[in-house]
Amino acid sequence: MSSNLINEIDIVKASTSKISSVDFENLTFGNIFTDHMLMCDFKDGAWQKPVIKPYEPFMIDPSAKVFHYGQAIFEGMKAYKDEKDDVWMFRPDENFKRFNHSAKRLAMPEVTEDIFIGGLKAILDLEREWVKKGKGNTLYIRPFMIAIGSGVIAQPSTQYRFMIILSPARSYYSGEVKVIIAEHYSRAANGGIGAAKAAGNYSAQFYPTKLANERGFQQIIWTDDATHTKLEEAGTMNVFFRINDTLYTAPTGERILDGVTRKSLIDIAKRDGINVEIRSVLVTELIEAAKDGSLKEIFGAGTAAVVNPIVGFSYQDNYYELPKLENSYASQLKEKLTNIQYKLADDTFGWTVKV
């Protein structure tokens, strides 16, 4: 099959829409999906013609590699509506690049820009009614790819399915977020798949996160697997620490996901005169800073969670509470980022892309 497949896309419209039954004010993250989905298969060494069709379950062989060997990757993105009813994506090129980085790491075929970016535009154009106006309203976009080739031999599939599904969303966390600093379990190791947005990176966290939940904590801050001394990433977000007036976040690399929200916040903070240091913060340093009062803030940053303040953390069974600040870096940065996303502020970075 040739390139520019998106020009040949088949669109099969749903006969009815479920939009009128959705309570957009009371959404639980990731539970409701729009009327359509995009599907594009890879077989015989090439991407086939994409189709947008009604959202529905589909059948794949029980021996498909995704079920047995976890060949599955995804992205998290959002669409926003401005006051003029235009729909916008935020840095889709970054998600496209990261998706293909993940694909390569899991021995999956890379998706063409035409299918990924063109596919996003096509499905968002069709579903624009699902993107509601007003800050806080978003349409969460989940592009993903799974190995659908059959056979339980442990080798990469020869057939794949790329899909885009869409879910109206407001906040990811509904209450306060308290975290535990990892002392035993690890999210990623050098040489592993930590920097890929691979499904397995998330399922591997479910058990330790469940243990944390049982103790009243919502998330874990992962530390480096070798020494558990360096603070790296929270389960669904990158993580920032403010000590005095400097903002710290760990460098991305083999173990840490290169978050789009993370890198955008760094650019906004630097532009606005906040001192940002990209370096690992040690657990000992954090405890010291919590004890002497120089630790002002910890917050997570991710597409789904946006900017999420962390109210306290636990380490070695001691709990440390963060101060409640007026005009925190977290609230300032969130405001500036979302103003760009909703076209309420000039996008001097050139991050927003119109659908």
256: contact with ligand COI by CB under 6 A: no
Distance CA(146)–CA(166), nearest Å, equals 17
Contact call for residue 168 and ligand COI (CB under 6 A): no
Write the CB contacts of 67 (distance below 8 Å, at least 6 apart in sequence): none
Site membership for ligand COI, residue 209 (CB under 6 A): no
Give the binding range for ligand COI (CB under 6 A) out of 53-61, 143-151, 298-306, 322-330.
298-306
Q: Is 304 in the site for ligand COI (CB under 6 A)?
A: yes
In the complex, minimum distance from the CB of residue 236 to ligand COI, in angstroms, rounded to a whole number? 4
Q: Does 252 bind ligand COI (CB under 6 A)?
A: no
Residues 98-137 that bind ligand COI (CB under 6 A): none
Asked whether the CA dihedral 29, 24, 263, 335 is positive or negative, the reply is negative
Task: Output the smallest distance, CB 244 to ligand COI, in A.
Answer: 29
* H or E segment and range at residue 352: strand 352-354
Q: How far is the CB of 139 from ligand COI (least distance, A)?
A: 12
For ligand COI, which stretch binds (CB under 6 A), given 79-87, 112-120, 187-195, 302-310?
A: 302-310
Is residue 302 within the footprint of ligand COI (CB under 6 A)?
yes
Instruction: Find the shortest distance in angstroms from Cβ 61 to ligand COI.
Output: 27
- Paired tokens of 246: 């400097």
Residue 238 binds ligand COI, judged by CB under 6 A: no
Residue placing its CB nearer to ligand COI in the complex, 219 or 223: 219
Q: Are 250 and 281 in contact (CB under 8 A)?
A: yes
In the bound complex, what is the minimum distance in angstroms from residue 304's beta carbon to ligand COI? 3
**Cβ closer to ligand COI: 188 or 305?**
305
Side chain identity at residue 238, one-letter code:
N
Q: At what angle do helices 92-105 and 260-271 cross, to 10 degrees?
A: 140
CA distance linking residue 52 with residue 107, whole number of Å: 26
- Burial (0-12, 13-18, 19+ Cβ within 10 Å), 318: exposed
Give the span between the Cα atoms of 225 and 152, in whole angstroms. 31
Shortest reach from residue 296's CB to ligand COI, in Å = 24
* Least distance from ligand COI to the Cβ atom of residue 214, Å: 20
Residue with tokens 């360096």: 230
| Rounded-to-integer distance, Cα 6 and Cα 213, Å | 43
352 binds ligand COI (CB under 6 A): no
Site string for ligand COI, 48-87 (x = CB under 6 A): ----------------------------x-----------
**Helical (H) or strand (E) element with 331:** helix 329-341
- 317 to 17, 152, 184, 314: CA distances (angstroms): 51, 44, 13, 6
What does the binding site for ligand COI look like in residue numbers (CB under 6 A)? 76, 202, 236, 302-305
